[in-house]
Amino acid sequence: MEAAAWGANVTITVGDDSFRFESDGIPSHELPEQFLVPQEGSFTPPVGEEEVSVVDTDIAVVASPIDITIPLEPTWSDVPTDTGLGIIGVAVSGAMLFNDYEDPSRSFVAVDDNFAIDGVPFVDSCNGHPLALARDGSGQGQYHYHGVPYCITDAIDADGSHSSIIGFLRDGYPVYGPQDDGGVIITSDDLDECSGHVGPTPEFPEGIYHYHFTEDRSPYTVDCYHGVVN
């Protein structure tokens, strides 16, 4: 945990059996100037132009403080638990990790159903975006990732090497980008039903169960936990 490349906007406080993650929720990397933001409730693809607004990033992405406690020693569960909408983990950039979906019915996969209008993206090149607008048109903030956060992995991963930690899920297991041992690109078929497996990583050379964000198909993030979540 201490070896992770935490952003300057992140404070980590280590306790006896858990660590506390605090940040302002704004990612430490650059963002596009604008986002396409659906009006609240319009999450069924395809999203029409009349259902979205072009919003300047300083309005769409605002400080959304995160204060979450994560176990240092995860507890394995043979029975997976589905990740829900909203925060499933935290990233070293200070932003949130979400699962694949935009809607409770799990029909809108953010990466697969991504779109742009006049060059303004719904999901940006980092596979992240802010939550939908409130009904009064104000920004919700809460920037989060639905896929490999390339703005993180491009900075911390090296060719020919296993990915470095991009964050931790709420169950305490670490999360990595798409590079496995030796830099081999891992696929969803190489992983279990929760996008995880056991193996060595740079931070845990003796091996640990860990999750990977993948590039080939959904799930791109993590759609279930294999650890106990309080």
pLDDT in tens, 85-109: 999 999 999 999 999 998 888 888 9
pLDDT for 16 beyond 80: yes
Query: DSSP alpha helices (H): ranges in 67-182?
Result: 150-156
The two three-digit tokens of residue 127, written as one number:
């596979």
**Above pLDDT 90, what percent of the chain?**
76
190 CB neighbour count, 10 Å cutoff: 14
Query: Which helix or strand (DSSP H or E) is residue 14 part of?
Result: strand 10-14
| Residues 183 and 161: beta-carbon distance below 8 Å | yes
Q: Could you tell me the residue ranges of all domains in the chain?
A: 10-227
Confidence of residue 191 (pLDDT cuts 50, 70, 90): very high
pLDDT digits (tens, 9 = 90+) for 133-170: 555 555 467 899 999 999 999 999 999 999 999 999 99
Average pLDDT over the chain reads: 91
| Residues 153 and 53: beta-carbon distance below 8 Å | no
Confidence of residue 71 (pLDDT cuts 50, 70, 90): very high
DSSP β-ladder status, 89-91 and 96-97: antiparallel
Q: What is the pTM of this model?
A: 0.94
**Above pLDDT 70, what percent of the chain?**
93
Q: Of the candidates 210, 190, 185, which has an alpha carbon nearest to the alpha carbon of residue 198?
A: 210
Tell me what pLDDT residue 40 has. 65
Cα–Cα distance, 45 to 176 (Å, whole number): 29
| 172 torsion bin: left (phi>0), alpha (psi -120 to 50), beta (else) | left
Poorest-confidence range of 125-134, 174-183, 184-193? 125-134
